[in-house]
Amino acid sequence: MLRTSVRSLSSSVPLKANYGFVGLGQMGQHMARHIYSKLDATDKLYVFDTVPQATNQFVQNVTQLKPENQDKLTALTSLGDFGKIDSFDYIVSMVPEGKHVKAVTEELVAGFKAAGNTSYPTTFVDSSTIDIPTSAGAAAYVAKEVPAFSFIDAPVSGGVAGARNGTLTFMVSKATESEIAPGFVTLLNKMGKNIFACGANPGSGLGAKLANNYCLAVTNLAVCDSFQLAKSFGLDPKKYAKIIAVSTGKSWASVDNCPIPGVYPEAQLPSDADYHGGFVTKLTRKDLVLALNSAEQYHRPLYLGETSRYWYDKGCEHKDIADRDLSVLYEYLGDIKEDAAGKLVDTHKSA
């Protein structure tokens, strides 16, 4: 695991770095903000989102936060515009699905080829959570189309809170930490706290991410179920939350993303904002399905997977559950009742 940032191998003179960032959503806006706020004197940051309002809002927010860096920031209006910039060191993408990663990669490559900027060793860093074959395919595509370029998967763990606080964990497809280039370490340390090398094969970082998010999805479901059980016993949910925080049932889902409002007000958890502002249920379901599909490809049975998928599928039938933080499953499971025949009935009324 790496924590130390290295700026230069042989000189104390600051090195110019051109960074790009694609995707300014719930996670990406915070990751890009940290890059912006930590730019060195000669660095530049170029940002793009398919939603112009997201790009404009990002620029407005960060330049108010640190106006002295505004001359180092440029908002681009298309992916093709990246190719017009000389000497990009790293372009980070944080987008929803594999199809978006594929499209972004192909458009970036086309832009650089059209502009004739294909000799500088630019690295595409994808931090999205997608399927392994698509990511490996993107790496092979880049290597074939622009041999000087490279593509590497570096997904993250830590959720929106980790992105906001700059404490993300990066899982990188490299055999050892020492093989991660110093400039890459510098970039990742601007956005996160921990860097792990997960394996030499393309997609190794995603393998670690999918295994982790499988654990998250299952644990979150169990935590929400547990809190509903405690409630049925007549326990005070807030008191139970404090008990579980110092007991053997403690987990990220029960403490750092506690589903009970008002337990940790200083942390500004999604549960305190009507389950808004976190890692939404439908994306948790997406990652769970990716893990299940990958497990099938690798002939690894997941014994809790289908049960968990069933309840995430049921919850995501309701838009107000699908579009809010995954801890909202506590609220949803409270609306599952038994009828006179003992059959489970979904009584949730969508907002």
* pLDDT tens profile 245-254: 999 999 999 9
User: Residue 201: which of 293, 130, 144, 139 has the closest Cα?
Assistant: 139
pLDDT of amino acid 49: 98
DSSP 136-151: HHHHHHHHHH-TT-EE
In which band, very low, low, confident or very high, does the pLDDT at 160 lie, cut at 50, 70 and 90? confident
For the chain, domain boundaries: 18-199, 208-346
pLDDT of amino acid 4: 38
- Six-digit token pair at 49? 């989102």
* pTM score: 0.86
CATH superfamily, region 18-199: NAD(P)-binding Rossmann-like Domain (3.40.50.720)
pLDDT of amino acid 159: 85
- % pLDDT > 90, the chain: 91
Q: Would the pLDDT of 52 be above 80?
A: yes
The residue-averaged pLDDT of 234-249 equals: 98
**Domain spanning 208-346 has what CATH number?**
1.10.1040.10
The residue-averaged pLDDT of 149-166 equals: 94
Average pLDDT across the chain, whole number: 94
* pLDDT tens profile 189-236: 999 999 999 999 999 999 999 999 999 999 999 999 999 999 999 999
pLDDT of amino acid 15: 61
| Residue 162, beta-bridge partner list | none
- DSSP E strands: which ranges in the chain? 18-22, 44-48, 73-75, 90-93, 123-126, 150-153, 156-157, 168-172, 192-197, 336-338, 344-346
pLDDT of amino acid 16: 72
**Whole-number Å distance between alpha carbons of 291 and 125:** 21
| Positions marked catalytic | 209
Please, what is the end-to-end C-alpha distance for the chain in angstroms? 44
Are the C-beta atoms of residues 19 and 45 closer than 8 Å to each other?
Answer: yes
pLDDT of amino acid 196: 98
* pLDDT tens profile 272-292: 999 998 889 999 999 999 999
- The SS3 call for residue 56 is helix
pLDDT of amino acid 277: 87
* pLDDT tens profile 102-129: 999 999 999 999 999 999 999 999 999 9
User: Residue 214: which of 283, 160, 292 has the closest Cα?
Assistant: 292
- Provide the 8-state DSSP code for 69: G
